[in-house]
Chains A and B, each alone.
Chain A
Amino acid sequence: MMSRSSPSTHGGVQTPLLGRLLNAMDERQRIGVVDFGLGSSSVLETFAPYRVRLDTLDIFPQLERWEAADTQDERRALIQAHVDGFELEGIDWILSWSLLNYTAPLTATLLFDALRPRMRPTTAVHALIEYSSPEMPASPPSWTIRVDENDVSLTPLSSEARTASPRHTPKRLEGMLGGMKAQSTVLLSNGLQEYIFRPSGRSDTDS
Chain B
Amino acid sequence: MFNKPVSNQDDVEREPASERQRQSRVSPGSAATVGASVHMDGRLSGEEDLLIEGKVTGTIEFKQNTVTVGSKGHILADLYAKHCVLEGKVEGNVFAAESIMVRKSAHVTGRLVAPAVSLEQGGYFSGTVDMDAETEDLKKSFASKAASKPSKPSNDQATQKQATDKDGAASLLQAQKTS
Contact = CB atoms under 8 A, between A and B. Distances in A.
Contact of B118 (A41, A52, A147): A41
B8 A57 contact: no
Dominant secondary structure at the B interface: loop
B132 A45 contact: no
Interface string A83-105: 00011000000000000000000
A39 B75 CA distance: 21
B162 interface: no
A44 B129 CA distance: 9
A148 B131 contact: no
A39 B4 contact: no
Given A149-B2, A150-B1, A151-B2, A48 B126 contact: no
A19 interface: yes
A45 B116 contact: no
Contacts of B118: 41, 44-45, 48
B156 interface: no
Contacts, number: 93
Interface string B1-45: 111111111000000000000000000000000000000000000
Interface residues of A, number: 34
Given A38-B126, A39-B126, A52 B120 contact: no
B83 to A, nearest CB: 16
Contact of A51 (B5, B6, B124, B134): B134
A19 B4 CA distance: 12
Interface in A60-103: 86-87
A49 B123 CA distance: 20
A52 B121 CA distance: 20
A30 B132 contact: yes
A45 B9 contact: yes
A23 interface: yes
Given A49-B5, A147-B6, A149-B2, A41 B120 contact: yes
Interface residues of B, number: 29
B130 interface: yes
Contacts of B5: 49
A111 B138 CA distance: 30
Given A48-B131, A53-B129, A54-B129, A39 B7 contact: no
A50 B5 CA distance: 9
Nearest to B111: A87
Given A38-B125, A49-B6, 20 more contacts: A25-B4, A30-B134, A39-B125, A39-B126, A40-B124, A44-B119, A45-B7, A45-B9, A45-B118, A47-B131, A48-B117, A48-B131, A49-B7, A50-B131, A51-B135, A54-B129, A86-B128, A149-B2, A150-B1, A152-B2
14 contacts: A19-B1, A30-B135, A39-B119, A41-B9, A41-B121, A44-B118, A44-B119, A45-B8, A49-B6, A49-B7, A50-B131, A53-B128, A53-B132, A56-B127
5 closest A-B pairs (Cβ-Cβ)?
A58-B126, A51-B132, A41-B119, A38-B124, A39-B125
